[in-house]
Structure 1
Amino acid sequence: MDVVDTPTPELQTMSLGLYDLVHFALMAAGFSLLAYFLYTWASREEVGRRYRPAVYAGLCLAAVATVSYLVLFLKWDTGFDLQDGRYLPNAEARFTGSTRYPDWAVTVPLLTVELLAVCSLAGARARNLRASAMAAAFLMILTGYLGAQVVADGRDRTALVVWGLVSTAFFVYLYVALIGAVRASLPHMGREAAVSLRNATIVLLGSFGVYPLVYAIPVFVDVTPAWSATVQVAYSTADVIAKVGFGLLVHKVAVLRTAEDVRGGVDTHPEPVWVSNVHESDGVLPELGRVSSSAAAAIRGEHDHHGHDDHGHDDHGHDGTHGATRTARDRS
């Protein structure tokens, strides 16, 4: 056992500047996640039913992460005592590190669900990949937690390396599985949706790379207050990118694919679909998706320039004013 002779990473004495820097990072990340939760909730109806699981996964992970950052902020605020111009850690400070892992154990698997929900995989293949990706994501976090927090309070270099390598194995599987799912899905969607899905994948997997880099630092260098502050800022930044930045891109993919399904007659959506002020598809009510195009035109109340519909009835006849609200069965 190679235990480094330095304090536990979270129990470092902080200067005023470093303490305030972490304070700012935690607040900014928490507010960003709360804003993302509210945005996702308000815009959830923009996404068709087929891709709604991505929205639900995003809402769940945003809620969990927001609460997690509230706890982190409170622990940081109460975990240090100001003495002689420095912030000295107390027992509460330990939770500023250990609180992140339960958050990640829930939100990282949900990130894989969010991505796979807008891919084109279906049936048993989709279910099996979703289950294996969620399991790999959870085990990646759990094994990293053992090395960084449990064994010798995260100060055993041997444990850091061993558990880090185990975590990396799940990390690599996750990369391969998600990239494979995205590559298989790109040919089955429009160009704009494909570009957004590719960008979302790059953002997610790129931000994932921050965590093992920060994890590995204690293996090579001694823990210092500056290092501890850098860890908090790096984790907070990566969380915002991986959850908010990625989530917004996935939402765009879901909206674009909803419009594609409406245009292709695969699904219906009650309202027009707009993306960046571009009209992607018209609104199609579920009832109109089950009737012929001529009947749908009559139900919408589309008439010729003489004020008569396709069946020759005037606007005030039995098939006029009231016909626009009738279903296909009523009209037959």
Structure 2
Amino acid sequence: MLELESLSVGQYGFINNVFSFGLAVMASSTLFVWLMKGSVAPAYRMAMVITGLVTAIAGYHYLQIMLSWQGAATINTGEVLVTGEGFNRAYRYVDWLLTVPLLLIELILVMKLSKSDTMSRSVKLGGAAALMIILGYPGEVSSEVGTRALFWILAMIPFLYIVREMVVGLKDSIARQPDEVKGLINAAAILLVVSWAFYPIVYLLPLVGITGGSAIVAVETGYTIADIVSKAVFAMLIFLIAVRKSAADERELVAEAAKQGEQKTPVKKVA
């Protein structure tokens, strides 16, 4: 477990600013997504609701993380003094337990798959994501190197399953999407995988020689950057996908209506 006593005043203030920035990004993303929900077709509004819910949950937890950070230590006569309240790292894992499965579900919903495929993929991917977070927590709060390494390995098993499903399992479903959104959906899936790959790397930092205040700065900043990319940036991609798919669906309806109109028009006989 990382100890706050090793922080310098500058490091303590920097991390506090990182948490504040994370809160601002999540809050603004939530407002944007929910306010723009009406600009997409009804079929994609549930995906938008869940997208905003993800950033709203993350924003709430960043507020709690920041308050816990401020309560765990204080600055006095140029030194960081631990108050004894402790910094609650569980807030991150509660957030991930709720938001990580939802991130996968919002991508599946915006793809507008069949009901059976949507349910099946949501349960499998959401369950694997929850298991990954649960397995990672004991190592995060442990002061034992062996324990941290063991739970990192265990958490990587469902993580690799998710990566396989995102890269290979969704390939056929992405291929059936409208041409104008195939690239965006593929980019969203890759973004999710790449940003999530950042978490196990940050998780390992205390095990590769980075210690003291530098380790705390690296871990908390790394997790925050990964959160912003996988939630706020991902939310903007989901919004763009929903907008383009709405336009594609509308063009398809117009073309179908025009086709039916031509079929109903009687053909005049030439005298």
TM-score normalized by structure 1?
A: 0.74
> Would you tell me which structure has more helix in proportion to its own residues?
2
What is the match of residue 107 of structure 1? 99
Equivalent residue pairs, number: 260
Secondary structure in 2 aligned to 1:81?
Answer: strand
Range moving further from structure 2, 134-143 or 177-186? 177-186
Distance change (3 Å), C-alpha of 1:10 and 1:129: farther
Contact 1:119/1:181, CA 8 A, preserved across alignment: no
Give the Å deviation of 1:162: 1.6
Larger RCO, structure (CA 8 Å, separation 6 or more): 2
Q: Give the distance between the partners of 2:125 and 2:5, measured in 1 at CA.
A: 36
Q: Give the distance between the partners of 2:261 and 2:169, measured in 1 at CA.
A: 35
Give the Å deviation of 1:133: 0.6
What is the match of residue 208 of structure 2? 220
Secondary structure in 2 aligned to 1:158?
Answer: helix
Return 5+ residue gaps in structure 2 as ranges: 263-271
Contact 1:81/1:89, CA 8 A, preserved across alignment: yes
Letter in 1 for 2:188: A
Q: Give the distance between the partners of 2:116 and 2:178, measured in 1 at CA.
A: 24
* Match status 1:240 vs 2:228: yes
Q: Deviations over 1:140-190 (max 9, x none)?
A: 0010001112xxxx2112211221111000000111112234312222223
What is the match of residue 262 of structure 1? 250
What is the match of residue 54 of structure 2? 61
* Match status 1:206 vs 2:194: yes
Letter in 2 for 1:130: S
Q: Give the distance between the partners of 2:127 and 2:223, measured in 1 at CA.
A: 22
* Match status 1:22 vs 2:15: yes
Which of these two proteins has the greater Rg computed from alpha carbons? 1
Runs of 4+ in 1 over 6 A off after TM superposition: none
Give the Å deviation of 1:123: 2.7
Give the Å deviation of 1:54: 1.4
**Identity in percent:** 26
* Match status 1:161 vs 2:149: yes
Return 5+ residue gaps in structure 1 as ranges: 1-7, 267-280, 282-288, 295-332
Match of 1:148 among 125, 128, 140: 140
Match of 1:230 among 214, 218, 227: 218
What is the match of residue 86 of structure 1? 79
Match of 1:119 among 111, 135, 145: 111
Spell out the pairing of 1:301-316 with structure 2 (5 A cutoff).
Answer: none
Contact 1:120/1:188, CA 8 A, preserved across alignment: no
Q: Give the distance between the partners of 1:39 and 1:246, measured in 2 at CA.
A: 13
Q: Give the distance between the partners of 2:149 and 2:221, measured in 1 at CA.
A: 23
